[in-house]
Structure 1
Amino acid sequence: MLRSLLAGSCAMAFAPIASAQVAGSSDDLKAQIVQMRQQMEAQQQAMQKMQQRLDELEAKESAQEKAAQTAQATPVVPGRALPQSTPVVAAATAPVPSTPPAYRPPSAPAGVTEPLPAGYVRLGDTGNLLKLDLVAQLDTMIDNKYMGSADLFVPSSIPVRGQPFYDSGWRTNLSARQSLFRMDFRRETDYGTLKVVYKNNFFGSGSGDMPYNLQFFYGELDNEHYTLLAGYNISAFTDIDVFPNTLDYEGPNSFTFKYGPQIRFSPVLYRSGDGKLTLPVSMEKPNADITAIGNYSPYSHLADFTLGLRWETPDWHVQWANLFRDLGMQDKTSGQTQRTTAFASQLTGSTKVFERDSAQGWFSNGHGYANFLQDISGLGLDAAFTSSGVLRAIRARGWGVGYTHGWTDSLSSSASYGYLRISPSSDMLISQDLPKSTKFASLNLAWQFSQRAMLGIEYLWGQNILLTNMRGQGQRVQTTLRYDLNP
């Protein structure tokens, strides 16, 4: 439009020239020439101003186009306020890390670790981000004998010689209980990143094929100085980062695994490069698992406490955790109580090996922590009465190793082994049909045949040795098909 105005102005400026050519006298012509010069100077000044305005408008339009292109290429950062001129997007992706994520083998359990900040959506203008993950999984298991729970491979449930089902035949089962639903909320605050995490699978104790089971429901405040967690989560005594990549949900017999309400504080004591030293401390709901006699029932005066040290880097970590418990029994009728203290210590670690390989290991030892051990949880082996009526904690210990090898980015194998043993005193009033030691081994092959789907096969072996030294072995072949919507 401005260019049209310039053209029109030029036409108006030269119109008097045509008129001057028909003027009658030289004086009139001179006067007209003076007038034309004045008009031309005025038009020239006007044209210069209009040209300057045109240049300014074109520069402004060019700057706006570059700003729009930059805004499209720039990711939305959680917690950062958008410019007023930028509309709030209802569904915006959270930032992708500047460095590529660590290699995650296809056999890695779904939904165990905290997801990377990708795949989140912005919830309007609230400042909250949400990531949803749905995992649909089907496991097909073939056992060489009846071993109690058909959905879990538990060596302590393997029948020994002389027990029912010791010579039972093959058994087939299908299970979808490892399917899960997870929600991760996060937002930036003045004190750091605030997270609320929810997760459930279907390994509940109810009836039916898919009983509900809550795994996570906690809030966490995370910053460069500390982490503060409160809610329902895995015990701080557990180091989930060393859980081997088994397709079987239960995992190694000697792994310490316990969920419960808790509050956990993990200050950062020291940093060096990419490494940091933290001091995890937690107070957790007590859950005494004691063999009862007479009218006695388990109880605890105090909560369970954990205290540890953890050094971690992007490629490896080591953790030392300690568990302190108060175990008690109280007579329902007389109110008489018996108490004993319990303590356990655990050393865990994992490391990256080569480009796609990793190794894990754990060792635990103590008295009164059987309820934290995968294979013997719920069997009443935290403590027991002696023949003289004194309550004592039962000693237990366990160790295990795991190794994952990535053949390619989409094909991996994982192997693991675990050993567990309890050592009750000879005068303890417990059943002699309880396990004295168990062993566990697994080997699998997993194929990530698409970005969101995995197919795997795993061989499992277990041995159960009772306090009477009677023993039995069991085997399982399991296939797994998993669809993970938003890992």
Structure 2
Amino acid sequence: MHRPSFGFMRQQTLRCAPLLLVGLATFSPGVMAQSSETTELKAQLEQVKAQMQAQQQVMQKMQSRLEELEAKEHAQEANAAQAKTAAPPLTSPATAPPSPTPSGPPPYRPPSSIAGAYEPLPEGYVRLGDTGNLLKIDLIAQLDAMADSTYMGAADLFVPSSIPVRGQPLYDSGRRSNMSAKQSVFRMDFQRQTDYGTLKVVYKNNFFGSGSGDMPYNLQAFYGELDNEHYSLLAGYNISAFTDIDVFPNTLDYEGPNSFTFKYGPQIRFSPVLYRSGESALTLPMSLEKPNADISVIEGFNTYSRRPDITLGLRWQAPTWHILWANILRDLRVENATARTRSTSGFATQLTGTTALFEHDSIQGWASYGKGYANFLQDISGLGLDAAFTTEGDLRAIRARGFGAGYTHAWREDLTSSLAYGYLRISPQSNMLINPDQPKSTKFGSINLAWKFSERAMFGVEYLWGQNIALTDLRGQGQRLQTTFRYDLNP
């Protein structure tokens, strides 16, 4: 096939050029309009695609944040579930480990045991936010109704030394009754863990104050104590270290036996642990205490002391029994406005102990002897019998001795009876300037029946007998029948 030459084609193209120009001129507006719309659609499509990509990135970020929050919530729920099955620590791990929980059941306390006298158990505490502090609050409401055979000088308390003897006013004055709510107690116990052990702060009051009215305020305790396996260090206002509150018999009457040593005061006390054997320990309690000398002074003289009372003891504590040997040294002085002074010293030694018997029975005992310590003895505290002047103008401490015992028997776990007996005697020199109406010897006896009719409520009945023998050897005696209702919010 013959192919046309290039020259021939060029001639044909030139001949057709006018016709092509006419066609382009005819169709160019439509084509140009179509091309502009396509460009615009493409631009809009690209813009929508960019917006969708941006929204997709936002959605991905939100999804990641949601997954992160859900993971944290699951972790918190798992920690909370684990905390419910484990005992909560006393403080955060950054401060100290939790205190050890007591092994075995708590010690048995009879229904008639003294209200608010013992340290509360750990499970009664609540946590105070994130401070690491724990708090236990106890409110004890108690009502005592008493019927006496004769006048009692301290109507709310059974005090044998206040019973009138023959020849004194109101001797054998006849029956009378009284009601008192002064044994009601408010107590707060704080504790936290430190690098040195458990730090406790204890506050307690009842209403046996000296003010007017039916319920005068009376502070019983306000102290701090640092306790660990090696020692305890106490500072503040508390029962004297010479007092062994663990042998106080289970009387419903607040005063208790006449010969029991019982005194509150400001003090600092240190009790190192000398030896341990299993759950038993030997400690050496010692203290410096405000003296509060109680002296029969003559006109113009006032009491004072150059140094605090010093106590030193030795205590063996076992799970079901303990024994304590305690000693006290005292400095007793008086002075007048012209700086004339008189002085003497006092001392006392005491042996106390208690032991469990059978399943819920227990026995308590105490005996003390010395001179110049009458202010510690329940029945004669505040009577000025620590020391007295002699007819020669000298100051001499007064000798005293006392002993007693208590026994508690459990008929059932919620029904107990307690017996208590006490004997007290002072032996002043014959030339001492003392009021002859002061007691020379007193005796005390009690028996009760206490029923704990619910976990936080107790009802009891108690019979008390007392005898007072004055320095003149004249005698008087009295009896009391007491009923007690007690409600304990957080025992």
Q: Which position in structure 1 is the counterpart of 2:84? A: 72
- Unpaired stretches in structure 2, ≥5 consecutive residues: 1-71
Instruction: Give yes or no for the alignment of 1:423 onto 2:435.
Output: no
Rg bigger for which structure?
2
Residue 270 (structure 1) aligned with residue 270 (structure 2): no
- Cα offset, 1:110, TM superposition: 1.2
Q: CA deviation at 1:465?
A: 0.2
Match of 2:35 in 1: none
Structure 2 residue corresponding to 1:193, chosen from 185, 191, 198:
198
Q: In the TM superposition, what is the alpha-carbon distance from 1:100 to its structure 2 partner? A: 1.1
Q: Is the 8 A contact 2:99 2:193 kept in 1?
A: no
Tell me which amino acid in the other structure corresponds to 2:133.
N
Q: Per-residue displacement from partner, 1:80-119 (whole Å, max 9, x unpaired)?
A: 4399xxxxxxxxx999744211111101111101111111
Which of 330, 336, 339 in structure 1 is aligned with 2:335?
330
Q: 1:343 to 1:61 in 2, by over 3 A?
A: closer
User: What is the SS of the residue equivalent to 1:118?
Assistant: helix
Question: Of residues 219, 227, 235 in structure 2, which corresponds to 1:230?
Answer: 235
Question: Alpha-carbon deviations, 1:191-236, whole Å to 9, x = none?
Answer: 0000000000000000000000000000000000000000000000
Q: 1:116 aligns with which of 116, 121, 127?
A: 121
**What is the identity, as a one-letter code, of the residue corresponding to 1:340?**
T
Query: What does residue 342 of structure 1 align with?
Result: 346
Aligned runs of 1:245-256 on 2, under 5 Å?
245-256=250-261
Q: Which amino acid aligns with 1:74?
A: A
Q: CA deviation at 1:253?
A: 0.2
The percentage of aligned residue pairs carrying the same residue is 72
SS in 1 for 2:82: helix
CA shift for structure 1 position 76:
1.1
Mean alpha-carbon deviation: is it higher for 94-103 or for 426-435?
94-103
| Counterpart in the other structure of 1:481 | 485
The offset of 1:74, in angstroms, is 1.3
* Cα contact 1:94–1:118 (8 A) shared by 2: no
Q: TM-score, normalised by structure 2?
A: 0.83
Q: CA RMSD in A?
A: 2.0
Shift of 1:71: 2.2
Q: CA deviation at 1:364?
A: 0.3
Within 5 Å, give how 1:350-369 maps onto structure 2: 350-369=354-373
Deviation at 1:167, TM superposition (A): 2.1
- Structure 1 CA distance, aligned partners of 2:270 and 2:100? 27
Q: TM-score, normalised by structure 1?
A: 0.83
Q: Which of 255, 259, 264 is the equivalent residue of 1:259?
A: 264
Q: 2:166 aligned with 1:161, yes or no?
A: yes
Matching residue within 384, 387, 393 for 1:383: 387
Give distance in 1, aligned partners of 2:391 and 2:248: 39
The alpha carbon displacement at 1:79 in A equals 2.4
CA distance in 1, matches of 2:99, 2:418: 32
In the alignment, is the contact (CA less than 8 A) between 2:388 and 2:396 conserved in 1? yes
Instruction: Give the secondary-structure state (helix, strand or coil) at the position aligned to 1:480.
Output: strand
Deviates more, 1:113-122 or 1:69-78: 69-78
Q: Distance in 1 between matches of 2:446 and 2:196?
A: 44
Give yes or no for contact 1:155–1:438 (8 Å, CA) kept in 2.
yes
How far apart are the structure 2 equivalents of 1:82 and 1:327? 50
SS at match of 1:165: coil
Q: Unaligned regions of 5+ residues in structure 1, if any?
A: 1-59, 84-92
Structure 1 61/281 Cα, relative in aligned 2: closer, same or farther at 3 Å? closer
Q: CA deviation at 1:62?
A: 11
CA distance in 2, matches of 1:162, 1:473: 13
* Letter matched to residue 330 of structure 1: E
Distance 1:202 1:472 in 2: 29
- After superposition, the C-alpha distances for 1:29-50 in whole angstroms (9 at most, x for unaligned) are xxxxxxxxxxxxxxxxxxxxxx
Aligned residues: 419
Can you list the C-alpha shifts for 1:108-153, whole angstroms capped at 9, x where unaligned?
1111011111111100000000000000000000000111111000
Q: Distance in 2 between matches of 1:298 and 1:311?
A: 36
Matched, 1:458 2:462: yes
Aligned position for 1:17 = none
